[in-house]
Each structure stands twice: as structure tokens, then as C-alpha cells.
Amino acid sequence: MHHEEQSFTLRFSLEATFPEDYEGEEDELAWAENWETRVKPDIIKGIFQTLKAYPDWAARFRNRGMASSEEIEIVLEKDFSEVSHD
């Protein structure tokens, strides 16, 4: 069976800016926790909702050993193996 792959990367870089008198980690990284617990799950949910509009593509997660806080890989697969060549 022949198999082809191509990659596309969508990277988010998180940054927070604080006032000059900020001592560091006073908020216990609440801004990063907000990303992990609210924003990121909503983005992922939105991606999968969008992909439902394309049923010829199967979407799934793939783990390549990175922590989910650092990387989430979504595999999109289009299967042509059942296509008749008559």
C-alpha cells in the first residue's frame, strides 16, 4: 500500500505582560492555567467541530511523546484504499 504525508503547523506562543512593580509569579501563573483549562480546549473543540463538515477526512489525536501542555498533534486522514480503479 502506498502512503503519503504532509505536515502543517499552527503554533501558539503564549506571552503575558505585567506592570513594572510585578514581583513574578504572584498570580501563580493563572494566565497560563486559563489557557490550559479554558482557551486551548475550546480551540481544539472548535477545530474538531469544523472538521465534521468534511466527513471524507478522519481526524484523530496522535501522541509522539510530548506532553499535551506542549504539543497536540491532530492527524487528518483521507483513505483512498477502497476506491475502485475500474
Q: Tens of pLDDT along the chain (86 residues)? A: 899 999 999 999 999 988 888 877 777 889 999 999 999 999 999 999 999 999 999 999 998 888 988 999 999 999 988 766 66
Q: In this structure, which long-range contacts are made by residues 28-37, counting pairs with CB atoms below 8 Å and at least 24 apart in sequence?
A: 36/69
Q: What is the pLDDT of residue 86?
A: 62
Full-model pTM: 0.79
Residue 38 grid coordinates: 479554558
The dihedrals phi and psi of 62, each to the nearest 5 degrees, come to -135, 135
- Provide the 10 A C-beta neighbour count for residue 65: 5
What residues does each domain of the chain span? 30-77
Q: What is the pLDDT of residue 85?
A: 60
Q: What is the pLDDT of residue 84?
A: 65
